[in-house]
Amino acid sequence: MLTRNVLIVTIIAATSHAVAQDNGHPLITPYAGSFVESQEVKEFDEQQLVIGKVQEDGSVKTERIEGKVTRIDYRDPDDRSSLERMRNYEQALNQGGFEIIYSCSKEECGPEIQIESIGYYPPERYLTAFLERQEGDVWLGVFVTQGPWTKIRVVEEQPMETGMVKITADMLKTNLLKDGHMAVYGINFDTGKSDMKPESAETLAEIAALLANDPSLRIYVVGHTDNAGQLDANMKLSNERAAAVVAELVGHYHIEAARLEAGGVGPLAPVATNDTNEGKAQNRRVEIVKQ
In tens, the pLDDT along 201-247 reads: 999 999 999 999 999 999 999 999 999 899 999 999 999 999 999 99
Amino acid at position 44, single letter:
F
Number of domains within the chain: 2
Task: Give dist(CA 118, CA 122) in Å, integer.
Answer: 10
What residue ranges in 76-180 does DSSP mark as E strands? 99-105, 125-131, 138-145, 149-156
Considering the domain architecture, whether residues 228 and 116 belong to the same structural domain is answered as no
- Give backbone dihedrals phi and psi of 177, rounded to 5 degrees, phi first: -70, -35
Do 123 and 58 share a domain, yes or no?
yes
- Final residue belonging to a domain, choices 105, 123, 156: 156
Note whether 195 and 243 are within 8 A (CB).
Answer: no
- The percentage of the chain sitting over the pLDDT mark of 70, rounded to a whole number, equals 86
Within 13 A of 180's CA, how many CA atoms are on the CB side? Answer: 1
Asked if the model's pLDDT at residue 5 lies above 70, the reply is no
The string of pLDDT tens digits covering residues 74-90 is: 999 999 999 999 999 99
Give me the pLDDT at residue 215, please: 95
In whole angstroms, what is the distance from residue 231 CA to residue 237 CA?
A: 10
pLDDT for the residue numbered 123: 64
Domain that holds residue 98: 35-156
Query: Average pLDDT of the chain?
Result: 86
Q: How confident is the model at residue 119 (pLDDT cuts 50, 70, 90)?
A: low
In the predicted model, what is the mean pLDDT of residues 127-144?
93
Contact residues for 140 (Cβ-Cβ < 8 A; gap 6+): 27, 28, 93, 98, 128, 129, 130, 131, 152, 153, 154, 155
Q: In CATH, what number is assigned to the domain containing residue 104?
A: 3.40.1000
